[in-house]
Structure 1
Amino acid sequence: MAGGITESGEPYSAFVGLVYMFNLIVGTGALTMPKAFAEAGWVVSLALISFLGFMSYMTTTFVIEAMAAANAQLRWKRREQEEQVDDGDSTSEYSDDDVMGSGRAEPETKPILSVQRSAGHSDHFDIVERMEMGQMASMFFNKVGVNMFYICIIVYLYGDLAIYAAAVPISLVEVACGNHSCSEVKYNDTDACWGPVTRKDAYRVFLTAFTLLLGPFTFFNAQKTKYLQILTSVMRWIAFTMMIILALIRIGKGTPEGNPPVASISGVPNLFGVCVYSFMCQHSLPSLVTPISDKKRVGTLVVADYSLILVFYVLLSLTAIFCFKSSSLHDMYTLNFTDNCDVLDIPVLRYFLGLFPVFTISTNFPIIAVTLRNNWKTLFHRDGGTYPWVVDRVVFPLITLVPPIVVAFCTHNLESLVGITGAYAGTGIQYVIPAFLVYYGRRHLEPVFGRDLVNKHRSPFRHAFWVWFVLVWAAFCLLFVTANIILTDTKK
């Protein structure tokens, strides 16, 4: 999953939205996918990634439908308030905050006359205002549901930060201590880096420097500029395209080393987590879809994006597992090109690929950290209350920054971090929350608008069967991954 997408408030075309969605989804998770492919087997991996891509597409359409429903409800509430003012009812206590509150309002028992009168118009479900997932949860869920949503998003963001905090030092260690002399040697953490300093010590030095340089942004408000995003997007496209082409060239020369298995069930749980993480975009859809100027083609855009991303992931992973030995694939795929001159013998390009995660991930870390900090504040916020300065400016940033850094100090196994984050918190955000949002959004609006007025952004999977199918699948996946972890620990 990549970082933020674009500054809000600037409309753009559907094609630009397609590019933004591609850049949003294709991120760090793609770099860990080749190793996960090799461990699960290429046939199993192709089947699983295709199915998980389809499931992610389905829940993406759920979120877009819920966004339209939330806009319709907010628009209806405002119209109701205006009518009360026109009728001389100055005692109404309703405000927009009621829509965003922590409790779920009860649906009305009959359609509103003003809505019925304008039922012929198609503007009720226009996605005009950006409704974040937390706001939609506040509109459609009860207090328990809202709290569960924030807990899920917080756990996911913690995993994101831990992955980012580990990925940057790993890449720096490979560049500073790695083997750029073109002799293919796989190093261990206990190998020397600088004299008596081991690679593990160097990793911790770089992690400390990373924390000191980027950690302070957690204590302030930081926003990524559009131009910085354009730069990182260009670097991402160059790096991924370069890796695919270089692997294809090596395979074409008849010198590949890869001989991946057809199927290996033991690698499936981790592949599941990596794939879920790599298709993650649901939590950022409101910021991505709302600015699109012509939303008539949003459905086509989503289908095209998921098709392109699936092809891209399959191409990247298949070329990797047939180009390199399964045992030689790194957690961070870019590292396979930094110490292998048979694949890439141009030093400048090897260093570019080695440092690629450093530049792209470092720009995302402050944004994710500030987002996590703000979610903590929202979770504990009480109406009418304010936080003391120390709590607001010190406590919340510290509980945001310290846990992922501690995790990164304890382990730098990116494949496991991505797998666990995707398998647990990712399942909640990508499957469970969108399914409940669309389910309760439909239940909420049907008594208000009636069954005649159709949500023009409704999901193609409009039958309730699909909602329950997603929830059952999510429960099965969680049980499967958990059982596999328990069995693996037992064998150890």
Structure 2
Amino acid sequence: MLNMAGGITETGELYSPYVGLVYMFNLIVGTGALTMPKAFATAGWLVSLVLLLFLGFMSYMTTTFVMEAMAAANAQLRWKRMESHKEDDDDDSSTASDNDVLIQENCDRSEKQPILSRDMDLLTFLKSLIVWRWDKWPLCSSIKAVFTLLLGPFTFFDVQKTKYLQILTSLMRWIAFAIMIILALIRIGNGQGEGHPPIADFSGIRNLFGVCVYSFMCQHSLPSLITPISSKKHITQLVLLDYVLILAFYSLLSFTAIFCFHSDSLMDMYTLNFTGCDIVRLVVIRFFLGLFPVFTISTNFPIIAVTLRNNWKTLFHREGEMYPWVVDRVVFPVITLVPPILVAFCTHDLESLVGITGAYAGNGIQYVIPAFLVYYSRKDTKLVFGTGTVNKHKSPFRSTFWVVFVLVWAFSCFLFVTANIILSETKL
């Protein structure tokens, strides 16, 4: 059984369902949202809205798949512990009464433990070095080099994500998003809106698909995010509420952007549209919005680097054996740090990068893996506990039809994106 409940053995502080709601919102709505307005403008507002709603629905479905698989995995862990205790204590007569309590309700977490522990993905890490676009290559290269030299060494040490860092990052994020939405609304209200987006332009669907998939991705971090929630009684409904709020926010951000700015003037990173003097007169706000991705990535980069490094260690770990010092302290940090640096120096096209990685890697992370996880967890649960066992956190999409539907959709997306790329290259 896959260890999808990896966070349950960690100690730390519990938080309420509503705090968990905020954490999930912040996890999903990251810097990826800043590439959405350009994708909306190129694909057309109606096509973009329909695809956004559909992909949001698909992401919610696979999120419930992962939560169900986590619950099943945790039930098996608890059952195995009960069985081992039974061998030591013949008087322990408890049977399968805990089988329906499928996600751990109690864990003791400390502030020094990472909120999102070991589940950051390589996709996020690769993107973290490619958030800037400057007109001149030497300047861009110099900044990336300075960034690497200053923050790269953190990969070789242990850095923990405290709640204060989470609060600071979240506060800066929401101030920036609020400023952009308000300024765009003011500009449109004053009759200065330049955007006249088409209803549909199917040539832009590939990038839109990748951006939207990327912007809904949270499945990789669900175990460490959901495990510390104190009460999980209504977790499925709360996650649904989160997705509704995220859909509303993405729509508000993107629609204000595409009607405020002409499609040709929209930047890959939306914050850069507000650095012009005619849009924002206060220098402080211009610099804050222009450097907002830098602030966010600077706080996230060391954490993501360390968690990815630890993932490498876990992937190759053999029980009972220790890594040599050179492998542990040099090899793993280097193989973590080198790939994103190479990608960062080799490309400036953020929209295409997010589109392609979202369409391929995101396709696997968000659709394929959750579908197989829930399918095999259901089979395994029946074998271990019997057909009468009820999973309290079972996905609302209980039929095998939905699992097959997700896999067919993922395969269709893979074919569509691949064909689109081939056609684009042929035209060039």
Structure 1 and Structure 2 fold alike (TM over 0.5): yes
Secondary structure of the 2:130 match is helix
Shift of 1:384: 3.0
2:164 corresponds to: 227
Shift of 1:118: 4.1
1:451 corresponds to: 387
Shift of 1:385: 2.8
Q: Does 1:126 align with 2:103?
A: yes
CA contact (8 A) 1:71 1:128 kept: no
Among 357, 379, 382, the residue aligned to 1:421: 357
Question: Which amino acid counterpart does residue 218 of structure 1 have in structure 2?
Answer: T
Structure 1 runs not aligned, ≥5 long: 1-6, 89-112, 131-149, 174-188, 190-198
Among 252, 259, 276, the residue aligned to 2:189: 252
2:331 corresponds to: 395
CA contact (8 A) 1:41 1:264 kept: yes
Q: Does 1:295 align with 2:232?
A: yes
Among 79, 82, 94, the residue aligned to 1:79: 82
Question: Which amino acid counterpart does residue 420 of structure 1 have in structure 2?
Answer: I
Q: Does 1:412 align with 2:348?
A: yes
2:209 corresponds to: 272
For each residue in 1:90-117, what CA deviation from the matched residue of structure 2 results, as whole angstroms up to 9, or x when unmatched?
A: xxxxxxxxxxxxxxxxxxxxxxx978x5
Secondary structure of the 2:13 match is coil
Question: Which amino acid counterpart does residue 330 of structure 2 have in structure 1?
Answer: V
RMSD: 2.1
Question: Which amino acid counterpart does residue 443 of structure 1 have in structure 2?
Answer: K
Matches within 5 A, 1:50-129: 50-86=53-89, 117-119=95-97, 123-128=100-105
For each residue in 1:127-153, what CA deviation from the matched residue of structure 2 results, as whole angstroms up to 9, or x when unmatched?
A: 3478xxxxxxxxxxxxxxxxxxx9xx8
CA contact (8 A) 2:105 2:232 kept: no
Distance in 2 of aligned mates of 1:127 and 1:490: 53
CA contact (8 A) 2:100 2:389 kept: no
Q: Does 1:210 align with 2:147?
A: yes
Question: Which amino acid counterpart does residue 62 of structure 1 have in structure 2?
Answer: F
For each residue in 1:167-190, what CA deviation from the matched residue of structure 2 results, as whole angstroms up to 9, or x when unmatched?
A: 1x53xx5xxxxxxxxxxxxxxx3x
| TM-score w.r.t. length of structure 1 | 0.80
Distance in 1 of aligned mates of 2:124 and 2:71: 28
Q: Does 1:27 align with 2:30?
A: yes
CA contact (8 A) 2:155 2:337 kept: yes
Report the more deviating stretch, 291-300 or 213-222: 291-300
Matches within 5 A, 1:284-433: 284-341=221-278, 343-433=279-369
Distance in 2 of aligned mates of 1:15 and 1:224: 20
Distance in 2 of aligned mates of 1:408 and 1:271: 21
Distance in 2 of aligned mates of 1:8 and 1:353: 37
CA contact (8 A) 1:244 1:319 kept: yes
Shift of 1:203: 0.4
1:147 corresponds to: none
Equivalenced residues, count: 409
1:485 corresponds to: 421
Question: Which amino acid counterpart does residue 50 of structure 2 have in structure 1?
Answer: A
Question: Which amino acid counterpart does residue 26 of structure 2 have in structure 1?
Answer: N
Moved over 6 A (4+): none
Question: Which amino acid counterpart does residue 129 of structure 2 have in structure 1?
Answer: A
| TM-score w.r.t. length of structure 2 | 0.91
Does the C-alpha gap of structure 1 residues 38 and 414 become closer, same or farther in structure 2, counting only changes over 3 Å? Answer: same
CA contact (8 A) 2:194 2:261 kept: yes
CA contact (8 A) 2:48 2:208 kept: yes
Distance in 2 of aligned mates of 1:284 and 1:477: 23
Shift of 1:221: 1.2
For each residue in 1:348-393, what CA deviation from the matched residue of structure 2 results, as whole angstroms up to 9, or x when unmatched?
A: 1111111111111111111111122122222222333322211221
| Identity across the alignment (%) | 70
Distance in 1 of aligned mates of 2:126 and 2:368: 23
Shift of 1:481: 0.8
Shift of 1:281: 0.8
CA contact (8 A) 2:312 2:332 kept: yes
Report the more deviating stretch, 443-452 or 348-357: 443-452
Does the C-alpha gap of structure 1 residues 24 and 374 become closer, same or farther in structure 2, counting only changes over 3 Å? Answer: same
2:6 corresponds to: none
For each residue in 1:385-412, what CA deviation from the matched residue of structure 2 results, as whole angstroms up to 9, or x when unmatched?
A: 3222112211111111111111111112
1:166 corresponds to: 130
